[in-house]
Structure 1
Amino acid sequence: MSAQTLAEKLISKNHMGINIASVTIGVGILTFPRTLAKATGAFDGWISIVISGAVAFLIGWLLAKLAARFPRQSFFEYTSLIASKPVGYVLTILICIYTMLFVSFEVRAIGTIAKQYLFYNTPVEMITLSFLLVVQYAVAGSRVALLRLNLLFMPVVLYVIVVVLVFAQPLVEIENVRPYFSSSWKALLQGSKDVGLSYSGFEIILFYTMLMKRPEEAGKSVFLGLLIPVVLYMTIYVFVIAVFSAEVAKNLTFPTIELAKEVEVPGGFFERVESIFFTIWIMTIFNTSAMWLDITVLNLTSMFKKVGKMVWILILSPIIYFIAMLPQNLIDFFSFGDKLTYFGLIIVYLIPICLLIIAFFRGVKGNG
C-alpha cells in the first residue's frame, strides 16, 4: 500500500473527536436526568456533570497515552508486548465480551424505546432484529467509511437537539430550578458516579488510535470528544429540571424524550417533535452499535488472523441478539446496563491504566 493510499484511509484528530462524541451520546442521554435528579434532588446536578466529566477527561487522557505509545498496533499486539502474549489473549477476549454485551444493550434499547414511542403494535423482537441486521450490514463494509459516517450524522443530531431546546424555552419555569446550591457534597458525588455511567464510549480511543494520522494527538481527540457530551448533558439537564422540576424528573423513565414531547413548534408545522428527536437519536445509537461491533470484530481478527471479518460478524450476531432478548422488562434492562458499565470500569478503564503504568516503568514502546 502506498503512503498516499494509507493517508487517505487514516482519520484526523478532529474526526476521532467526533467519533468519541458520537459513541458517547447513546442511551445515557435519554435517562441520565432521572438518575441525576434522584441523586441530587435539585438543580445542582449540573455540578455532578462537571465533576464526572473532569474524571472522564483524566481517564480518557491516560487511555490515549497508552494507545499512542503503540501507533499502528492493535490492542492485542501492544498488550502482548507489555504483559506477554497469554495475558494479551485473556485481556482481549474480555474486551470482546464487554463490547459484544454493549452491542446487545444498545440494540435492545432501540427495540424497547421504539416500541414504547413509535411502533406500538410491533413485537420488540422484530424491531431489535431489524436494527441488528442494519448494524451488521454497516460493519461488513469499510471500517474507515463507518467512522466517517459520524461526520455526516453528528451535525444533524446536534442541530435537532438545539432546535428542541430552543423551542422548549417558553416552557421554562424559574421556580423549578430553585433553590440553588442546596445539595450536599455527598449527594453531588453520588450524582457524579451515576451520570458518569453515561460517559461510556471514550474508551474506543484504545482501539482506533492506530487509524489516526497523528496518534500522538489522541489525547486532544479525547478532550474534544468528551467536551461535546459534557456541554450537551449540562444543557439538557438544566432544561429538564427547569421544565419539569426535579421531583417530576425523578419519575420519568426517559426525561429527554418527554422534554421533546412537550415542545410545540409555532404554527403547528410539526405536531410530534419527539418523533424527529427519536429519529436522530436512532442515528446516534446506530453509530454507537456499529462501532462497538466493529471493535469486537477488530479485536477478534487481531488474535485469530485466519478467520475473516464476515465470519466473525455471522458468528457474533445470533449471540448478540440472544443476549439482547434476555431482559424481560425495563428493570432488568437498566440492571443489565448498570452491571455492564461496572464490568467496563475494570476491563476498559482500570486494566488499561495499569498497563500504561507497567509500560512506562518497563520502557515498553511500539514502533511508530
Structure 2
Amino acid sequence: MKMGTTRITTIQMVALLSSALIAVGIFTLPRDLAMKVGTPDLWICVILGGICGYLSSLIIVSLSLRFERLTFFEFNKLIIGKWLGTILSICFIGYALLIGAFEIRSMGELTQFYLLEETPISVILITMYWVAIYLLIGGINPIARLIELLNPICILIFILVFCLGFKVFELDNLRPLFGLGAGPILKGMTPTFLTFSGLEFLLVFIAMMQKPKDAKKVALIGLGIPVFIYLLAVVIITGGLSVERMKHQKWPTFALIQEYEYEGILFERFDSLFLVVWLIQMFTTYVVCQYVAAKGISQLTRISYKKANYVLLAAVYIICLIPQDLNQLEKMGTIIGWTSFAFSFFIPSILLIIAVIRRLKHEAEPQNGP
C-alpha cells in the first residue's frame, strides 16, 4: 500500500468530526436542557458548551501534533509508560464502544417507535450492524468519503426543517433573558457534555490527516457546524413549544416538526424526511465510534483491524441491550457525558502537561493502517 492512500483530507476530517457530533443530541438535548435549566436561557448553554468544547479541542490538537502520525493508543505509552498507557487505551476503547452502543440503541428506539412498531428492537439493531460492518471493513477512506458525501446533505435538510419551524415560532417563549440569573445556565452545562462527545476522537484521527497542521481549522469548523445546528434547534424548539411543553415531551424535536405543515409543495409534513436524514446521521456516528474502537484493538493486540470489527459486534450488541427502557438509556447518556469530559479535557490536559515537562515529541512516521 502506497504512502498517503490511507490519509484523509481536511474537508473529509471536517465532515467526519461534525458528523460524529451531530447525533442523538438533536432529540435529547432540548428536553434535557429544559429539565435542567427550566428557563428560556437554554440557548446560552449551547453557546457556552461550544466554547468549552473548542478549548478542549485546542488541547487535543496541541497534544496530537507533538506526536505526529501517532494515534492516542500509541503516544500515551510514550508519555505515561506501557502499562498505564495500555490501561488508558482500553478505557478509551470501552468509551468508544459505549458511545456507539448508545447511538445505535437510540436509533433503534426511534425507528421502532415511529416506523417499525411491531418489529423487535433486536432485529432492527442487527440489521444496522451488518450494514455498518460492510462499510467498516474497508477502513477509514470509504468511511471518510461516505461521510463527506452525506454530511452536507444532512446539514442542509436539518437547517431547512428547523427554519420551517418559524411558522409556529413565538418570540415571547424566549423571554425573559437571565430571568433567574446565571445559576440555571450553569446547571444546563452538563447536558452539553453528551451532545459534544466525540471531540476526543481527534486524538485518533489527526494522525491520519494528510495535513495535520490544519487540525485547528478542522476543530473550529467541525465543531462550529454542530454548535450552529444545535443552537438553531434549541432556539426554534423553545420558541415553538415553550420550555414547559418541552419538559413533558419525550422527543421535543419531533413534537415541533409535527406542529406545522406546508400545503402545495412536495412535502407537506417533514417528520418522515427528518427521521430518515437523522437515521443516516446516527449511522455514521456509530461507524466512527466502532472504527476508533477497532483501530485501538488492532494497535494494542495482534488482532487485525477487520477481525476486531467482527469481535466488537458482539460487544456492542450486549451493551445495547443493557438499558431496559428509555430512563436507563438516559442514565447511560449521563455516564457518557461525564466520561467524555474526562477524555476530551481532563486526560488530554494531564498528558500534554507531562509531555511538555518531559519535552516529549515524536516526528517519526509509522506505517499506515486500515
| TM norm structure 2 | 0.94
Percent identity, aligned pairs only, is 29
Higher percent of residues as helix? 1
Report if the CA contact (8 A) 1:41-1:183 is conserved.
Answer: no
Match of residue 140 from structure 2: 143
Q: CA deviation at 1:271?
A: 4.3
Match of 1:51 among 24, 44, 48: 48
For 1:337 and 1:192, how far apart are their aligned partners in 2? Answer: 14
Report if the CA contact (8 A) 1:95-1:348 is conserved.
Answer: no
Aligned amino acid, residue 301 of structure 1: S
Q: What do residues 236-276 of structure 1 show as CA deviations (whole Å, max 9, x unaligned)? A: 11100111111101111211122222231231632441111
Report if the CA contact (8 A) 1:70-1:365 is conserved.
Answer: yes
Aligned amino acid, residue 331 of structure 1: N
Match of residue 20 from structure 2: 23
Match of residue 234 from structure 1: 231
Q: Gaps spanning 5+ residues in structure 1: where?
A: none
SS at match of 1:262: coil
Match of residue 129 from structure 1: 126
Match of 1:218 among 207, 215, 218: 215
Q: What do residues 157-182 of structure 1 show as CA deviations (whole Å, max 9, x unaligned)? A: 11111221232222112332222331
Match of residue 61 from structure 1: 58
Q: CA deviation at 1:68?
A: 1.2
Match of residue 7 from structure 2: 10
Match of residue 273 from structure 2: 276
Aligned amino acid, residue 227 of structure 1: G
- Equivalent residue runs for 1:199-210 within 5 Å: 199-210=196-207
Aligned amino acid, residue 189 of structure 1: L
Q: What do residues 261-297 of structure 1 show as CA deviations (whole Å, max 9, x unaligned)? A: 2231231632441111010001111111001100001
Match of residue 109 from structure 2: 112
For 1:133 and 1:338, how far apart are their aligned partners in 2? Answer: 28
Aligned amino acid, residue 54 of structure 2: F
For 1:271 and 1:15, how far apart are their aligned partners in 2? Answer: 34
1:313 aligns with 2:309: yes
1:340 aligns with 2:329: no
Q: Gaps spanning 5+ residues in structure 2: where?
A: 365-370
Report if the CA contact (8 A) 2:261-2:268 is conserved.
Answer: yes
For 1:51 and 1:174, how far apart are their aligned partners in 2? Answer: 22
Bigger mean CA deviation after superposition, 275-284 or 182-191: 182-191
Report if the CA contact (8 A) 2:193-2:337 is conserved.
Answer: no
Report if the CA contact (8 A) 2:157-2:274 is conserved.
Answer: yes
1:329 aligns with 2:321: no
Aligned amino acid, residue 310 of structure 2: L
Match of residue 346 from structure 2: 350
For 2:139 and 2:174, how far apart are their aligned partners in 1? Answer: 47
Match of residue 368 from structure 2: none
Q: CA deviation at 1:77?
A: 1.7
Match of residue 88 from structure 1: 85
Aligned amino acid, residue 123 of structure 2: M
Alpha-carbon distance change, 181 to 344 in structure 1, aligned in 2, over 3 angstroms: closer
Match of residue 195 from structure 2: 198
Match of residue 363 from structure 1: 359
Match of residue 30 from structure 2: 33
Match of residue 101 from structure 1: 98
Q: CA deviation at 1:7?
A: 3.6
Aligned amino acid, residue 310 of structure 1: K
Match of 1:174 among 171, 176, 179: 171
Report if the CA contact (8 A) 1:164-1:263 is conserved.
Answer: no
Q: CA deviation at 1:82?
A: 1.0
Match of residue 285 from structure 1: 282
| Number of equivalences | 364
For 2:189 and 2:134, how far apart are their aligned partners in 1? Answer: 37
Aligned amino acid, residue 316 of structure 2: I
Bigger mean CA deviation after superposition, 286-295 or 71-80: 71-80
1:249 aligns with 2:246: yes
For 2:229 and 2:303, how far apart are their aligned partners in 1? Answer: 41
